[in-house]
Amino acid sequence: GSILVLNGPNLNLLGIREPQTYGRETLADVEALCRTAAAKAGYEVEFLQSNHEGVLIDAIHAARTTMVGIVINPGAFTHTSVALADAVSGVQLPVIEVHISNVHQREAFRHHSYISAVAASVIVGAGTNGYVLGVEQLIHLVGR
C-alpha cells in the first residue's frame, strides 16, 4: 500500500508565498520529508499538488482502490469545498488534514473547515513538520 499526500491551491508556491506564515521550505522539501517518514514504516508516497478542485477530487476517488489513506492540505478549499469533503466521505479511506499555519490564530474565515468533520485527525500550526506528523498518524491508524 501507498500513502497519498495531496496539496491544494497555491501550495506549489510554498517557500515563496508569505514566508512569514508558511516558512521558507518548498513543496519539494515537504515531499522529501513525507517520503522519509513513510519509508521508515515501509510505505511509499504518491505526492500530488493541484490548484484545481476537480483534479483533487479525482485523485481522492482514484486513491480508493490504490492507497491505504490520505494526508491532505486542501489549502483554501478547506474553507469552501463541500465537494472535497464529500469526496473524502465517499472513499471511506482514513484522511489526515494538515495545515502548516495555525488557522485558528488567523482570519475568522479560516476557522471553519469542511474537511475536519470527515477527517480522522487534524494537525494545524506545526509548520511543515505537520506533514511528517500526518504521515506518522496515518501509519499509526492503518498499522505497521
Q: Which residue ranges make up the annotated binding site for substrate?
A: 73, 79, 86, 100-101, 110
Residue whose C-alpha cell is 515501509: 42
Binding mask 7-46 for ligand DQA (x = CB under 6 A): ---x------------------------------------
Give the separation between CA 134 and CA 137, rounded to whole angstroms.
5
Q: How many residues of this chain interact with ligand DQA, rule: CB under 6 A?
A: 10
* Nearest to ligand DQA of 110, 142 (CB atom): 110
**DSSP secondary structure, 15-43, as one string:** TTS-HHHH-S--HHHHHHHHHHHHHTTT-
Choice from 27, 43, 87, 99 touching ligand DQA (CB under 6 A): 99
Segment near ligand DQA (CB under 6 A); pick from 47-55, 63-71, 82-90, 98-106:
98-106
Percent of the chain that is helix, strand, coil (3-state, to 5)? 50, 20, 30
For residue 69, which amino acid is it?
G
Q: Which residues are catalytic?
A: 22, 99
